[in-house]
Structure 1
Amino acid sequence: MFGPARARPSFTYTLGPAGNRLSVTDHTGRVVDYTYDELYRLTREDISDPTTGSSFFAYTYDAVANRLTKQDVYGVVTSTYDDNDRILTRGGDSYSYDLNGNTLTALVAGVTTHYAYDYENRMMGADDGSKLVAYGYNADGIRAWSEVDGLRTHYLVDQNRDYAQVLEELDAGFVPSVTYVHGDDLLSQFRDGTRYSYHYDGHGSTIALTDHLETVTDTYTYDAWGELLASTGSTPNNYLYTGEQYDPNVGFYYLRARYYNPSLGRFHTMDTHPGIEYEPLTLHKYLYAGASPTLFVDPSGMIFVAGFSELLLSLNNASFYRGTSAQGARVALRQVLFGRPPKDLGLVGEGVLDLALQGVFDTIINNPNGFDSKSNFGTAAHHDLELKIASFKPLPGFEIAAEVYYDKNNKPTTRRAKGSLGIDVQIIHRGKVVLSLDLKTGKGWSKNGILVRKKRFGSDIIQIFVKTEASR
């Protein structure tokens, strides 16, 4: 239980038909209402807080989701951009870039900060005239240390997780100063002889810390984009918005491949990921979370993602395309892929999910008269998926295999071999199968069937369900 002066943190969410969050009420009585445009981009958040009072933030965007204005109780701030979607000005602040699209200088509140990068466009340092910040990375591009005015902190990182996580912070002499314990999320930190436990909201943001007596020591509230609005307590803690590591020395969140600037609601450098063809917002090189930060996260720093153990895509394969615009179809598919609280599959897994759903999407569009049976629809969708997998270029260290069959001894075999079981897609990382996916256009496997296949294929399995008129 929490200490007697505090109620246990709790949150109640109201969702729209597409799964977008319309409101959230917490245990303190704080209420936030969200408003979106037709593309589900966040346009307004209204906050009613019994402690700090009422406030609001309103946003407008251009055609490609660059934030044009941000309005609050103090007025409106306008931003401008160049043809490459790089922010040039924000109110009285201004920004410049190198030839690779990295932010080179930022003039903010009268202070100019200069940034430096290596040949892989990783930020190596920042200098604002009052402090000098430097960073170092390991061979996999994960941050290994940071340094402020010559004082270095080393990070012991677990890279065997979906996304690399810090296990320990060590001083310049490699003596541990902080230890972190992880489950699915960060559970606790141990520093100065005291263990502090983390508590999260439905978006994965840290909202409280408790000590070993389960008394609340620190609390946090944010706007939708991750700017800290209010906090209590003094426990050192940098794991905040969406549970990610905040760097107070530069004011950014470290999201592995890139740094995210919550005050701008965008990334500091260009995205190296090419994006998803049928989801235009992922093609933007600086945009965070598809301009819908109440729904999506970007733990890789390359593409906003969400994953599920099962996906259900309910479509009428004839009327779906006829009854909606192409953009409407994209939005509907986007909500299937991204429209639930994230339980991440990893970047490559999301890429394969995209191919599967894009295969379904293309099958629908290329056959506007529909199919006379679920079998014919499934055959067409699977064929399209195989073609896409054959041309898919994953990240270094990954392989993608299509139409894989194993025998009862868990050995590769052929489609027609006795006792063989098949899977549509396997994702292999450095020789190990890490994820399997199967596209279903009819009835899915039973729970036991999933367990049998998980054991045989040696990985978690994602079933992607497609329910059409023909398969009802």
Structure 2
Amino acid sequence: MEVLNGFYGDSHYEYDQRGNRVCERRGKGGKLVTHYQYDCLNQLIQVDNGEATTRYEYDALGRRVSKTSTIDDSPTRTEFLWNDDVLLSERYIADQEVGEDGQGGREQQEFSPDKEPYLADKTYLFEPGTFKPLAFVEQGKIYHYHLDHLGTPQEISNAQGKLVWSANYKAYGSLALADNPQVENNLRFQGQYFDEETGLHYNRFRYYDPEVGRFTQQDPIGLLGGINNYKYVVNPVQWTDPLGLTAAKEDPNRQVRAISRPKEIIPPDYDPLTDSYEGSKFYSKSTVEGGRVHVSTDAITQNDFARIVDNSSGQVDILTGTHGTPDGDLVYKPAFYDEDFARWGGAPNVNVHDVSKMSNSQIKSIIDNKDTTICAWCFSEKSKF
């Protein structure tokens, strides 16, 4: 049952009761129609756009293990192998024919008996612990990825250093231009795989539509993930969502290429001994739980600690809502909290706390935790809790 409609440009969308996109109508009069089907787990299992029908299969962990696309009774199939949640390899199989299963005539894909199927295997290598691709091996040849700050492939070179693929993207990940590609590359934003048959990106737990910058299915946790159940990230220039579940801000200093550009890992004005920047009014010290707490040594403004917030890759707690004196006294200023919340309140990895509404024990529990904490008021090194 369709319960919700929407449109973007000349595209109109229809959704089922579970919030899954079930129909897309495009063009003049909505004559170009694409239908989507889902299983009981809200996994996309079939897409039919009138020219091609594509079916998807998943394993017990919800990872997509195959897709089969049929055009004019000529199917092609791609099978996927995984290493946890990271794509390990894929196999492309062509030259198949449509057969019958003998149980009611349901179509299934079989190898053509009179010719060898075409096989193409591709194996991926990723930076350990990330979704950032480093290289892939195809037909015995190795190709190297060149990424932007988000880990999105910008170029691919062969073993001789010659570019064999390059691309420009629009803000939300759709391909604006591919320059004379000599190899195929379907990796896009971190954790995303481009499906040529549909134009969607498979994003592990959901499918992402780069043309509209949103998912085709609701957030599995509903409104606990925010009031917009289809939102990709706050800012696609700084954030990624490799699993289709949780957005994370990318640390621009953490780059594979930093071996040849060390200044991108340790900025020239950064002092690792004090965990502070030259000229900064803040320094940090370790907490009981192994986190870091940043305290100020002088009168400050929001911009004095903004760099600490924006360069932190983990969880950040900002304690604000007060002014501090050189003697360590606090004078509560709710407007300070409002300003800081307006700037970082929507960031998934940042919590903004109003100390004027907290007890000393509550403040101390945050300062002593395992995250990065910023005591964002003047002379906060003098304060005691």
Q: TM-score range by the shorter chain?
A: 0.5 to 0.7
**Residue 83 of structure 2 corresponds to residue 158 of structure 1:** yes
Task: Measure the CA separation in 2 of the matches of 1:261 and 1:210.
Answer: 28
Deviation at 1:287, TM superposition (A): 1.6
Query: Take 2:126 and 2:36, find their aligned partners in 1: how far apart are those partners?
Result: 32
TM-score (norm 1): 0.53
Of the structure 1 ranges 137-146 and 462-471, higher mean CA displacement relative to structure 2 is found in 462-471
Out of 342, 360, 374, the position equivalent to 1:466 is 374
- Give the structure 1 partner of residue 8 of structure 2: 90
Which of 206, 209, 217 pairs up with 1:258?
206
2:53 alignment counterpart: 132
- Cα 1:327–1:97 shift into 2, 3 Å: farther
Q: Does 1:440 align with 2:378?
A: no
* 2:249 match: secondary structure: coil
In the alignment, which residue of structure 2 is the partner of 1:112? 33
**C-alpha deviation, 1:296, in angstroms:** 1.6
Match of 1:366 among 350, 357, 370: 357
SS of alignment partner, residue 343 of structure 2:
helix
> Structure 1 CA distance, aligned partners of 2:122 and 2:173?
24
For residues 215-240 of structure 1, what are the alpha-carbon distances to aligned partners after superposition, in whole Å with 9 as ceiling and x for unaligned? 11111101111121111123111012
Are residue 239 (structure 1) and residue 207 (structure 2) matched? no
Is the contact made by 2:56 and 2:67 (CA closer than 8 Å) also made in structure 1?
yes
Distance 1:246 1:328 in 2: 38
| Cα gap change, 1:266 to 1:299, in 2 (>3 Å) | same
Shift of 1:316: 3.7
Task: Report what 1:343 is aligned to.
Answer: none
Any idea what SS the aligned residue of 2:248 has? coil
Query: Aligned residue for 1:380?
Result: 362
State the match for 1:168 in structure 2: 89
1:295 aligns with 2:238: yes
* 1:138, distance to aligned residue in structure 2 (A): 1.2
Could you tell me how far apart the structure 1 residues matched to 2:177 and 2:346 are? 33
List runs of 5+ in structure 2 lacking aligned partners. Answer: 94-110, 112-116, 251-311, 324-331
**What is the percent sequence identity of the aligned residues?**
22
Separation in structure 2 between the aligned mates of residue 139 and residue 321 of structure 1, nearest angstrom? 53
Counterpart of 1:332, as a letter, is W
Could you tell me whether the CA contact under 8 Å between 1:141 and 1:257 is conserved in 2? yes
Q: Is the 8 A contact 1:227 1:263 kept in 2?
A: yes
Are 1:222 and 1:241, in contact at CA under 8 Å, matched by a contact in 2? no
Secondary structure at the counterpart of residue 283 of structure 1? coil
Q: For the Cα contact (< 8 Å) 2:320–2:340, is it kept in 1? A: no
Large movers: runs of 4+ above 6 Å: 173-176
Is the 8 Å Cα contact of residues 143 and 159 (structure 2) preserved in structure 1?
Answer: yes
Query: Match of 1:286?
Result: 230
Q: Distance in 1 between matches of 2:36 and 2:25?
A: 12
What's the offset of the Cα at 1:274? 3.8
Give the Å deviation of 1:200: 0.7
Letter of the aligned partner of 1:245 in structure 2?
A: Y
Shift of 1:312: 5.5
Corresponding letter in the other structure for 1:286: Y
Could you tell me which runs of 5 or more consecutive residues in structure 1 were left unpaired when the two chains were aligned.
1-81, 339-353, 384-438, 445-461
Q: What residue identity is the alignment partner of 2:80?
A: Y
In the alignment, the residues of structure 1 paired with residue 364 and residue 221 of structure 2 have an alpha-carbon distance, to the nearest angstrom, of 25
SS at match of 1:270: coil
Amino acid at match of 1:146: K
CA contact (8 A) 1:204 1:243 kept: no
**1:171 offset after TM fit, Å?**
4.6
Equivalent in 210, 214, 217 of residue 164 of structure 2 = 217
Once the two structures are TM-superposed, the CA of residue 132 in structure 1 deviates from its matched residue by: 0.8
Q: After the TM superposition, which residues 196-207 of structure 1 pair with which residues of structure 2 at under 5 Å, given as runs?
A: 196-207=143-154
Q: Are residues 124 and 310 of structure 1, via their aligned partners in 2, closer, same or farther at CA, if it must alter by over 3 Å? A: closer
SS in structure 1 of the partner of residue 344 of structure 2? helix
**CA pair 219-147 structure 1, distance change in 2 beyond 3 A:** same
Alignment of 1:20-419 (within 5 A): 88-109=6-27, 110-149=31-70, 150-159=75-84, 164-171=85-92, 177-183=121-127, 184=130, 185-232=132-179, 233-242=181-190, 244-274=192-222, 282-290=226-234, 292-306=235-249, 308=312, 313=317, 315-319=319-323, 322-324=334-336, 326=338, 329=341, 331-335=343-347, 338=349, 357=351, 361=353, 364=355, 366-367=357-358, 376=360, 379-381=361-363
SS in 2 for 1:145: strand
Equivalent pairs counted in the alignment come to 276
Query: How far apart, CA to CA, are the structure 1 residues paired with 2:134 and 2:178?
Result: 20
Rg: which structure is higher?
A: 2
Question: Does structure 2 conserve the Cα–Cα contact (< 8 Å) formed by 1:206 and 1:243?
Answer: no
Instruction: Output the amino acid matched with 1:364.
Output: V
Counterpart of 1:322, as a letter, is P
* Distance of 2:22 and 2:189 partners within structure 1: 25
CA distance in 1, matches of 2:12, 2:313: 44
Query: How many Å apart are 1:189 and its aligned residue?
Result: 1.0
